[in-house]
Amino acid sequence: MLLHDDEVLFVLLLCVMIETLFWTLFHIHALILTNIVQLSPNVVLCYFQQGIYLTFIGYYSLVKELTTLLLMIICRLWSIMNVRSMRRVRESSTNIKLRLYYFDCRGRIQAVRYMLEDIAYIHKNVDYKEDFELLEKRDEIWSQHKTNETISGPFHNLPVLHWNDTDTFAQTLTIGQLLARKFNLYDKLTSSIVDQDLLHGYIDGVVSCAYTDVILNSFLCIGSMVDFSDENNLMYRLTKNISNVLKLLNNLLKKSSTSFYYDQLEPTIADYFVFEAFTIARDYHHKLIPNEEDCQELMKLEQIMKERPGLANYFNKDLLFKRFTGSLTEILCDLSCYDCSEVVLDYKLTAETVPTEFKNCTIVTEQSNCYMQVKWERNSTTTLMVYGFQYWKADVLGHDLQATVSFSYFDSQPSWSNIIIYRCLTDQCNSPARLKSLLESFKFVNKLEQLQYLLEKDEAFDGKQCLFFSNTTQYQMFSLKKSDPPTCKQCMTIVNMTPKKKVIEASCYSLQTSLNTVNQRVEFDINDRTRSPNWYIACQRANCNTLDVGDLIYQNSLIDFNLEKFIDKTSAGLSIRFSSSFFIVFQNAFNKIQAFLMVPGQKWN
């Protein structure tokens, strides 16, 4: 056990006092029971009294010599042990400067953070501090820091540990094992393990298991957006494996005679990594940890580790990051949202008729994004849907908005609708006040019933009369080729427009997939303030899906959204602006993983 300097001084003084008192009392009998006779001026005779005391003094002399010899042996062994410990932590007078550099999230380095907090508390000669690479500025700054080896180390990656401004070490396990060797966090041999290399092997095995099979796999669950409700999902099997590994780590700890792995009296690097593995799995999702009876030892370990002065100070200062990783799928994953059952209003909802509070709604927490949908129909009814998504939706990078004007006609039954879909990433952003601001900023014109003639089914419909044209492969799995017109049941054309690209798919469906429909839809990205318009038609008559239909749609419909008015009228306007700047940082990286690349569209006022 390593002590602080003031504790060492106290123990030293206590030992001196005890030793002085002991030897004083141990020899006082000689002053009382020894006879001293002066035979001449320069000759003195000392002799012990006859009887029991003479016998006692014989044994006393033997015990004294043996005690002295035993104390010398103990002190010698103690000195050797202290010298070995001192060699690991250097001389106490040598100052050590440690600088950890990592992203401002919990990440894979958290177990090493715990080690460093304890080391800095115990060793007063250690000057420890952590510097952060800010995730919100990752695209702006990290690309520059990544190529600077004085910051990112030899592998151009984080974490790195700078030692005394002279040495730089990279990779989590390497840093952890270096600290364990330098500061004796592999601890001591025991009666069951008498070989130091074997002890290190056992401890490193626990470290590797906790780090690889639990910590990194937990991050994989976060990055892959695992659905914990779908037991048939391949990623769900990974969650079961994490739980099983934690159960094994619990059982291994149960075999130890102490609170730490392999009968150690103080925590080793293994205990720090298992502590983090257990807590990060539990903090992310309860399905990652075993049943309570199968993690009792891990729960005890957590309690003991949190009571250590260095770590207690760390948690009391609330230094533990709430964000687990830098993954784009984890951005703002702890939202509160309004959650309501679907409501059908018997009147047309406008900005003036938006209720001040939603009825039959609750506030739900731990949501990934909030959602709001309003659908107006020609019969003066409005359908309102308000809820939150618990799991991340990959197409939501911030506050985005979709508006559609539509007209359908089938079996002589017309259907007219306007729809707004709003998704956002701030607390309770699907509130009545936000809905009111949306409606005040929108303008709809829907006269698509003027195109009813295109949607009326021609009983003599022939697939050969459809337009076949495509400049994309995006919709091929849903539509037929020009060589398959006999099986065509419904013509279709989809046009998505951006300043850089116009995506067109004109073909037909082998099955009638929907009503005969014509619509215009505009997707607004509130983050980078762009709009992407598109139109669609599905019909069953000759030449009904030509590209000229687009002009007819725009002549008979309009979708306009005043962004500045929306932000100015929204009490959370500042949070929208912040979210906008925050998520634009991640736009480039996210585009690489999107299934459908959305090229930014034209600016709008």
**Partners of 422 in beta bridges:** 372, 401
119 and 51 belong to one structural domain: no
157 and 140 belong to one structural domain: yes
The whole-model pTM stands at 0.51
DSSP β-ladder status, 96-103 and 361-367? unpaired
84 and 129 belong to one structural domain: no
Asked which of 135-149, 184-198, 326-340 is least confident by mean pLDDT, the reply is: 326-340
Q: Check which CATH number belongs to the domain holding 121 and give it.
A: 1.20.1050.130
pLDDT value at 475 more than 70: no
| Final residue belonging to a domain, choices 285, 305, 329 | 329
Other beta carbons within 10 Å of 434: 25
321 and 386 belong to one structural domain: no
318 and 350 belong to one structural domain: no
Q: Give the separation between CA 503 and CA 549, rounded to whole angstroms.
A: 15
Helices H, strands E: what count in the chain?
18, 21
pLDDT in tens, 47-66: 777 777 777 777 777 777 78
Check: CB of residue 264 under 8 Å from CB of residue 188. Answer: yes
pLDDT value at 503 more than 60: yes
Pick from 376, 405, 409: which is nearest to 515 by CA?
409
| pLDDT mean across residues, the chain | 82
pLDDT in tens, 505-539: 998 887 766 689 999 999 887 767 788 899 999 99
Bigger pLDDT: 543 or 53? 543
127 and 250 belong to one structural domain: yes
pLDDT in tens, 230-275: 666 667 778 889 999 999 999 999 999 999 999 999 999 999 999 9
Give the SS3 label for residue 38: strand
| Final residue belonging to a domain, choices 329, 364, 391 | 329
DSSP β-ladder status, 602-603 and 530-539? antiparallel
84 and 122 belong to one structural domain: no
Token pair 């769900």 is found at: 236
62 and 159 belong to one structural domain: no
At residue 331 the predicted structure's pLDDT band, cuts being 50, 70 and 90, is: low
Domain that holds residue 284: 96-329
pLDDT confidence of residue 602: 39
Pick from 421, 420, 408: which is nearest to 378 by CA?
408
pLDDT confidence of residue 164: 95
Q: Could you say which DSSP state residue 344 is in?
A: E
The separation between CA 81 and the C-alpha centre of its own chain, rounded to angstroms, equals 42
Measured between alpha carbons, how far is residue 361 from residues 2, 206, 424 in Å?
57, 48, 18
Other beta carbons within 10 Å of 62: 10
419 and 300 belong to one structural domain: no
pLDDT in tens, 117-166: 999 999 999 999 999 999 888 878 888 899 999 999 999 999 999 999 99
431 and 546 belong to one structural domain: yes
pLDDT value at 589 more than 50: no
Beta strands in 112-210 (DSSP E): 126-133, 160-163, 167-170
299 and 166 belong to one structural domain: yes
Domain count within the chain: 3
104 and 69 belong to one structural domain: no
pLDDT value at 221 more than 60: yes
| Final residue belonging to a domain, choices 36, 61, 89 | 89
Q: Give the separation between CA 257 and CA 454, rounded to whole angstroms.
A: 82
Tokens of 354: 């938006």
Q: Give the separation between CA 46 and CA 355, rounded to whole angstroms.
A: 111
pLDDT confidence of residue 568: 73
Bigger pLDDT: 71 or 458? 458
